[in-house]
Amino acid sequence: MFELLKTDSETAARRGRLRTRHGLVETPIFMPVGTQGTVKALTPAHLREIGAQIILGNTYHLSLRPGSEVVRQLGGLHQFMGWDGPILTDSGGFQVFSLAKLREIRDDGVAFSSHLDGSKLFLGPREVMAIQENLGSDIAMVLDECPPWPCAREDCARAVGRSRRWAEECLRIASGSGFLASGSLVFAIAQGSTFDDLRREAAESLGALDFSGYAVGGVSVGEPEPEMLKQVAATTPFLPAGKPRYTMGLGTPPQLLKMVALGVDMFDCVMPTRVARNGLAFTPEGTINLRNERFRTDPRPLVEGLDNYTCRNFSRAYLRHLALAGEMLSGTLLTIHNLHFFLDLMGQARAHIEAGDYGRWHRDWIDRYEAGGA
């Protein structure tokens, strides 16, 4: 299911290929986030045009509405949303962190009060695997407990132990139900917060089980960037080398390149879509806020030579006008550009790993981006 094609000689960067039921995924890869069965502001045709290979859905949100049984009856999430490529679904484990005031963690799972109407929802290993089977996920994530930052060691150790038990149960259920036999994949999630020994313990104990892939969880939950990178570096060396590695829920373009250098293969983040709806665009020289006066008569595209619909057809001045006027098209055009920028960056990373010069290239790219000046 995963083929490691090349490793960089200077860094831990990897070039790989992941096979799923709905197609191949070339890694390193960025995955646009479609939490509720849609990548905000875009159609599946937009996603195909910008080169998206795989997108995300979310178990917690889709189980609340429209309900996983509804999606199953209508042919599964691929048919429901009109996307024929691979889909990874998060288990709802991040909501254990983000909805801390609306949930109770138990040994058998998590009891939520819906953020929509207060109705009760319980997610244990059996529930999250059943929901993801109803959705028809190509890659299902196990249920895990994502500890906050900062976190007391004792609390973190409990979360690591509980997450491992849940992961083992998710794998057992996926094996017994035929989910794995159907070609779907199941990824485990290594937690451990800022404790290197707990990170290693989680990675090694989960690595001893035959999961399809492994994620580094519990990062980008409020900690400073150096600590975040330290947590990734403390985890990836102890994950199986022959399986894909996924860092969940981040980050900026420089952070992605730094984590590729640490041996991470897959990423997702809501950032490029979220900031697009507020007039922010990514360029090789850093982000630009199109609401600024200096772009009022700027005839240039967002990025000269970047081959996406937005850059081929529209000026910064026009995009600024749309953003200030509150036009919906602003969010669509900037989302097309931002996601393509991230996807193109991963394409460049793959090419430089293959060429053998990833180390120098990614440092130069980050230096240019962080110097700004766009």
Pairwise CA distance, residues 75 & 3, whole Å = 30
Q: Is the pLDDT of residue 63 over 90?
A: yes
Torsion over CA: 165, 218, 142, 65 (sign)? positive
Q: Quick check: 225 pLDDT over 90? A: yes
pLDDT band at 372 (very low <50, low <70, confident <90, very high): confident
Q: What is the mean pLDDT of the chain?
A: 96
Helix (H, G, I), strand (E, B) or coil at 187: strand
Other CB atoms within 10 A of residue 66 CB: 14
Average pLDDT over residues 56-63: 94
Secondary structure percentages of the chain, helix, strand, coil, to 5: 45, 20, 35
Q: How far apart are CA 182 and CA 180, in angstroms?
A: 5
Catalytically annotated residue among 8, 90, 138, 265: 90
For this structure, is 90 an active site residue? yes
- Give the span between the Cα atoms of 222 and 76, in whole angstroms: 35
| Radius of gyration of the chain, Cα coordinates, nearest whole angstrom | 20
pLDDT of residue 328 exceeding 70, the answer is: yes
Share of the chain above pLDDT 90, in %: 93
Rounded to whole angstroms, how far apart are CA atoms 88 and 78? 11
Q: Residue 312: is its pLDDT beyond 50?
A: yes
Looking at residue 195, what is its pLDDT? 97
pLDDT of residue 96 exceeding 80, the answer is no
* Beta sheet of 103-106, edge-to-edge order: 103-106, 109-113, 120-123
Closest CA to 187 of 97, 264, 261: 264
What is the predicted pLDDT for the residue at 97?
73
Per-residue pLDDT, averaged over 124-140, amounts to 97
Please tell me the least confidently modeled range out of 6-10, 148-152, 172-176.
Answer: 148-152
> Does position 374 have pLDDT exceeding 50, yes or no?
no
Whether pLDDT at 265 is above 50: yes
Q: What are phi and psi of 251, to 5 degrees?
A: -165, -150
CA distance 211 to 273: 30
**Is residue 92 scored above 80 in pLDDT?**
no
Mean pLDDT of 91-103: 81
Of the pLDDT bands very low, low, confident and very high (cuts 50, 70, 90), residue 101 is confident
Residue 256 CB neighbours (<10 A): 22
- Look at the chain and count its residues: 374
* Whether the predicted pLDDT of 373 surpasses 60: no
Q: 71-80: long-range contacts at Cβ-Cβ below 8 A with a sequence spacing of 24 or more?
A: 71/37, 71/134, 71/135, 71/136, 72/134, 72/135, 72/136, 76/134, 76/135, 76/136, 77/37, 77/135, 77/136, 77/137, 78/22, 78/136, 80/37
* Banded pLDDT at 246 (limits 50, 70, 90): very high
268 in active site:
yes
All domains of the chain, ordered by start, with CATH?
2-269 (3.20.20.105), 276-371 (no CATH)
CB-CB contact of 34 with 81 (8 Å): yes
DSSP 8-state class, residue 238: G
In this prediction, residues 209-238 reach a mean pLDDT of: 96
The phi-psi region of residue 141 (left if phi > 0; otherwise alpha if psi is between -120 and 50; otherwise beta) is beta
Supply the pTM of this predicted model.
Answer: 0.96
Average of pLDDT values for 23-33? 98
> Which entry of 8, 138, 265, 268 is annotated as an active-site residue?
268
Closest to 344 measured CA to CA, from 256, 275, 261, 262: 256
